[in-house]
A and B are shown apart, each in its own frame.
Chain A
Amino acid sequence: MYKYIIKRLIYLIPVLLCVTLLIFTMLYITPGDPARMILGNDASDEAVEQYREELGLNDPFWTRYFRYLVGILHGDLGTSYTTKMPVAKEIAERFPTTFVMALLVTIFGTLVGVPLGIISAIKQNHAVDYLATTVGLIFVSMPSFWLGLMMIVLFGVKLKWFPTSGWYGPQYAVLPAVTVGLTGIASRMRMTRSSMLEVIRSDYIRTARAKGQTEFKIITGHALQNALLPVVTQIGMAFGTNMGGMIITEQIFAIPGLGKMMTDAVNQRNHPVVQGGVLWIAFATSIVNLIVDVLYAYIDPRLKAQYVSNKKKKAQAPKEAKAEGGAAA
């Protein structure tokens, strides 16, 4: 199991390297002169040119790229063009907010969506199912910015239940979390439902029923375990999507997170911040995906057997052989 983890971690390095190259290239071809943006309108052309030299913007592509890579190895993600602060510091200040939100939302989405999906699958074709599926689909189809704005009007202003901007306590997280989360709930629900349906129709469930197991035991004991496996994978991807979804939500709710930082940076041609932000998000998303995949491998007995180390296998094999009388696991 550890080998798998280590392998994945090592594999992460070339992936992230390529991410830096990809983003660097994209920003390189982005129109707009950062020097002019920082110095502003009044600055003369010579001053701008001089500043370009200072920022190293006139150097060839590969020189700038390698300079950037070397910096990363030292933990230096560059300096923001607008605030002159180290990018790493800015990210460190704003990332936790976004990360916590994305995590909360993903967990929230799972805890609400999965049970709903299960119920929906069990009661397939009943009113409950149709209702849940349709409502779920409606929420999946809603643009998050629209939902966010509507929530502000309804809950923030008309009802005054929750604050609508800032980030000073748990109550500030409610509206943004619901905005991003409702889509997640719906997704999780649909995924769970279809996965459950597939499992419920399978042969071994029919066998269990034939054997006389109670419906409840079948669902919780057999069906659920297998049905949830694909859902677990989806959770990892959902986290990445939620991180991306925070971009708009943070803008609307004035949350000082990474998303807003990135949007502002893209608009201001603040390349170091965009590069650093994307790199960090890629890193965080990859780590979360890794955790989820490891979890998946751990839960799924078929995969677990593959990844359990040989030593353990050898130690277990004789024991198992004795216990099961030679039957394969």
Chain B
Amino acid sequence: MSKIKSFVAVVLALTMVLGLAACGGGSNGGARKDIIMVTRTEPSNLDPHNNTYLTAFMLEPMIYDRLVGKTQEGEIYGILAESWEYLDDTTIRFKLHEGVKFHDGTDLTADDVVFSIQRGETATGSKTFLQYFDGKNCKAVDKYTVDIKTYNAFAPALTYLASARGCILSKAYVEKVGDDVLAREPMGSGKFKFVEWTIGDKVVLEKNPDYWGEEKALVDKFTCRFVSEDASRAIEIQTGACDLALYITAENIENIEKADGVHVETTNSFEGHFVGLQTSKYPFLQDVRVRRALAYALDRDAIVQAVDRGIAETMQSHFSSSLPYWIPVYSYDYNPEKAKELLNEAGWNWDTDIEMFTGSAGQTFMEAVANYWKQIGIKCHITVSSDSTVTSSEKGVPVYYLTSNANSGDPDHGVFNYTSKSNGVAVYQAEEIDRLLAAEKAEIDPAKREQLFHELQKVLNDYCGLIPVSTPKCVYGVKDDLKGFVPDHGYTPDLTKLHW
């Protein structure tokens, strides 16, 4: 008996010690020179060129500097670039600030800029943005002057350089440590230095006291925590355990508003949630009447209300209404009779069973869509993938859930789905779309570009390759005392200006 007792005592003591040791320090934002933010998804890495996570897009500009930045209103302002000018349609000359130092003390020069553009042009995460830049022909004219070249005249060039993919890396550092270490231990020239990354838990940044610019960071420490459960995130801000929470869902807004010391800030987003129609592989989707019928069959307002419960608006075009050059063009208002009529006209085979696919994030959305189609007699069934990030290409299904976030704020970003043609978007008989896409990218004159986008949106509406449904709002939970927070349409607010 005593043997058991003593054993138990020893194990208990050991466990207590281990337990307290493993739990680590218990700081939760008591001293107010630090900020804790909670968001939904942990990025796979913090390499500006190798991921497409919104979380990374927020953190990278804190650690790194970009050549230029962009305000909420769409104006470009210089960060590393003191000034710039267009030498010709495809060349921009930037004059860099002198005396900019990376966190390891080395100078940031034109060579680093050229290196970053070249690397980003072909890297998986940044290709979609930087493929238009001609890395080979970018030149460091002198230590602080660099010429950036694009393959063709490219209207969104500065906007894309202002995105997180435009972060400037240290050539020496990347060459020394290699891509894999860079992914986990970023080092830049920004207002914050990277401290640590506990996988599955948080990323910690600290103030860079030697920041070259005039405006230094206003807090000493910044922690970004990853909490994937929606309800848990809401609790964190509600109980004051964090200072800023992203991706608050509709039902939690009221509770947060009622709680003391915190409130909710909402703004429209650059996102679009669509029903994707893979025209390239499925003949039955190649008839435009069928696609339009599928659109007529949906009561989009009801779907938006059910899925987003008041924090979204029904899309009236093929990208968010907050993007420049937006016009309302959507013409397929809810009309189940018309849908049936069109399907019969197109010779629709009512025995066809449409396969639908979505990740877990789009489940409610697709269930609602399937329901409306079933109501007019279309047979369909949904496969839900357990991973919320997987997309349909893996499955190659005819109908899928598609989201896009034109995070950079340029309407070209808003039509990325059509440019990239992934998921079979607008591949079949879409020459007119392709022509207009190429034209808008190359058109530098804003007035003319606006006209092109108006035309493009009308064509996209007629083609009906995707059914746009909702643009959700960005919902942030914010502590009342937190200053300097500007809700961002792209769900990537500028975190460097936060302070108490």
Of the candidate stretches B82-90, B134-142, B228-236, the one touching chain A is B228-236
CA of A269 to CA of B391, assembled, Å: 13
CA of A103 to CA of B12, assembled, Å: 10
Minimal Cβ-Cβ distance residue in B for A169: B26
Contact assessment for A40 and B52 in the assembled complex, using a CB-CB cutoff below 8 Å: yes
Q: Which of A84, A111, A167 contacts B183 (CB 8 A)?
A: A84
Q: Tell me if B283 is interfacial: C-beta within 8 Å of chain A.
A: no
Q: Which of B27, B44, B226, B235 contacts A82 (CB 8 A)?
A: B44
CA of A224 to CA of B2, assembled, Å: 11
Contact assessment for A168 and B391 in the assembled complex, using a CB-CB cutoff below 8 Å: no
Of the candidate stretches B193-201, B295-303, B330-338, the one touching chain A is B193-201
CA of A299 to CA of B6, assembled, Å: 12
Residues of A within 8 A of B239 (CB): 156-157, 160, 163-164
Minimal Cβ-Cβ distance residue in A for B24: A168
Contact assessment for B386 and A165 in the assembled complex, using a CB-CB cutoff below 8 Å: no
Residues of A within 8 A of B23 (CB): 100, 167-170, 172-173
- Which A residues between 97 and 152 are near B, CB-CB below 8 angstroms? 97, 100, 103-104, 107, 110-111, 152
- Binding site of A, secondary structure by majority: helix, strand, loop or mixed? helix
- Which A residues between 149 and 204 are near B, CB-CB below 8 angstroms? 152, 156-157, 160, 163-173
Residues of B within 8 A of A225 (CB): 1, 4
Interface string of A243-286 (1 = CB under 8 A from B): 00000000111101100110000111100000000000000000
CA of A257 to CA of B231, assembled, Å: 20
CA of A224 to CA of B227, assembled, Å: 45
CA of A39 to CA of B51, assembled, Å: 9
Minimal Cβ-Cβ distance residue in B for A83: B44
Residues of B within 8 A of A169 (CB): 23-26
Interface string of B1-24 (1 = CB under 8 A from A): 101100110011001001110111
Q: Tell me if A59 is interfacial: C-beta within 8 Å of chain B.
A: no
Q: Tell me if B106 is interfacial: C-beta within 8 Å of chain A.
A: no
CA of A111 to CA of B423, assembled, Å: 56
Q: Which of A40, A160, A221 has the most CB of B within 10 A?
A: A40
Q: Which of A82, A165, A256, A299 contacts B3 (CB 8 A)?
A: A299
Q: Do A256 and B198 form a contact, CB below 8 Å, given A42-B127, A42-B420, A85-B184?
A: yes
Minimal Cβ-Cβ distance residue in B for A51: B124
Minimal Cβ-Cβ distance residue in B for A82: B44
CA of A172 to CA of B239, assembled, Å: 14
Q: Do A111 and B201 form a contact, CB below 8 Å, given A167-B24, A169-B24, A170-B19?
A: no
CA of A198 to CA of B444, assembled, Å: 88
Q: Tell me if B163 is interfacial: C-beta within 8 Å of chain A.
A: no
Residues of A within 8 A of B25 (CB): 168-169
Q: Tell me if B72 is interfacial: C-beta within 8 Å of chain A.
A: no
CA of A183 to CA of B31, assembled, Å: 39
CA of A260 to CA of B229, assembled, Å: 12
Q: Tell me if B153 is interfacial: C-beta within 8 Å of chain A.
A: no
Contact assessment for B225 and A221 in the assembled complex, using a CB-CB cutoff below 8 Å: no
Q: Tell me if A214 is interfacial: C-beta within 8 Å of chain B.
A: no
Contact assessment for B200 and A261 in the assembled complex, using a CB-CB cutoff below 8 Å: yes
Contact assessment for B201 and A256 in the assembled complex, using a CB-CB cutoff below 8 Å: yes
Q: Which of A33, A37, A103, A256 has the most CB of B within 10 A?
A: A256
Minimal Cβ-Cβ distance residue in B for A163: B241
Q: Tell me if B128 is interfacial: C-beta within 8 Å of chain A.
A: yes
Q: Tell me if A8 is interfacial: C-beta within 8 Å of chain B.
A: no
Interface string of B427-470 (1 = CB under 8 A from A): 00000000000000000000000000000000000000000000
CA of A166 to CA of B24, assembled, Å: 11
Q: Tell me if A52 is interfacial: C-beta within 8 Å of chain B.
A: no
Q: Do A41 and B19 form a contact, CB below 8 Å, given A157-B235, A251-B229, A295-B7?
A: no
Contact assessment for A32 and B394 in the assembled complex, using a CB-CB cutoff below 8 Å: yes
Q: Do A253 and B391 form a contact, CB below 8 Å, given A84-B183, A168-B26?
A: no
Residues of B within 8 A of A173 (CB): 19, 23
Q: Tell me if B45 is interfacial: C-beta within 8 Å of chain A.
A: yes
Q: Do A94 and B26 form a contact, CB below 8 Å, given A33-B394, A107-B15?
A: no
Tell me, rounded to whole Å, the shortest Cβ–Cβ distance linking A298 to chain B.
8
Contact assessment for A41 and B423 in the assembled complex, using a CB-CB cutoff below 8 Å: yes
Q: Do A94 and B200 form a contact, CB below 8 Å, given A40-B391, A225-B1, A254-B232?
A: yes
Q: Tell me if A93 is interfacial: C-beta within 8 Å of chain B.
A: yes
Contact assessment for A97 and B22 in the assembled complex, using a CB-CB cutoff below 8 Å: yes
CA of A245 to CA of B390, assembled, Å: 26
CA of A164 to CA of B242, assembled, Å: 12
Q: Tell me if A15 is interfacial: C-beta within 8 Å of chain B.
A: no
Q: Do A166 and B229 form a contact, CB below 8 Å, given A107-B12, A256-B201?
A: no
CA of A320 to CA of B470, assembled, Å: 86
Residues of B within 8 A of A228 (CB): 4
Q: Do A36 and B15 form a contact, CB below 8 Å, given A83-B45, A170-B20, A228-B4?
A: no
Q: Do A152 and B22 form a contact, CB below 8 Å, given A42-B420, A82-B44, A160-B239?
A: no
Residues of B within 8 A of A56 (CB): none
Q: Tell me if A90 is interfacial: C-beta within 8 Å of chain B.
A: yes
Contact assessment for A100 and B7 in the assembled complex, using a CB-CB cutoff below 8 Å: no
Q: Tell me if A326 is interfacial: C-beta within 8 Å of chain B.
A: no
Tell me, rounded to whole Å, the shortest Cβ–Cβ distance linking A326 to chain B.
27
Contact assessment for A166 and B19 in the assembled complex, using a CB-CB cutoff below 8 Å: no
Contact assessment for B393 and A36 in the assembled complex, using a CB-CB cutoff below 8 Å: yes
* Extra pairs beyond A85-B180, A107-B11, A170-B23 (19, CB < 8 Å): A36-B394, A40-B52, A41-B422, A43-B124, A156-B239, A157-B235, A160-B239, A164-B239, A165-B229, A166-B225, A167-B201, A168-B28, A256-B200, A256-B201, A260-B200, A267-B386, A268-B387, A268-B389, A298-B3
A-B contact pairs, 28 of them (CB 8 A): A32-B394, A37-B394, A39-B124, A42-B128, A42-B422, A83-B199, A84-B180, A90-B199, A94-B199, A97-B22, A100-B15, A100-B22, A103-B19, A157-B235, A164-B232, A164-B239, A165-B235, A167-B23, A170-B20, A170-B26, A220-B1, A224-B1, A254-B226, A256-B199, A257-B200, A261-B199, A267-B386, A298-B3
Chain B interface residues (CB < 8 Å from chain A): 1, 3-4, 7-8, 11-12, 15, 18-20, 22-28, 44-45, 52, 124, 127-128, 180, 183-184, 198-201, 225-229, 231-233, 235-236, 238-239, 241, 386-387, 389-394, 420, 422-423
Chain A interface residues (CB < 8 Å from chain B): 32-33, 36-37, 39-43, 82-85, 90, 93-94, 96-97, 100, 103-104, 107, 110-111, 152, 156-157, 160, 163-173, 220-221, 224-225, 228, 251-254, 256-257, 260-261, 266-269, 295, 298-299
Shortest beta-carbon contacts, A-B, top 8: A169-B26, A256-B200, A256-B201, A267-B387, A41-B391, A165-B232, A254-B227, A267-B386
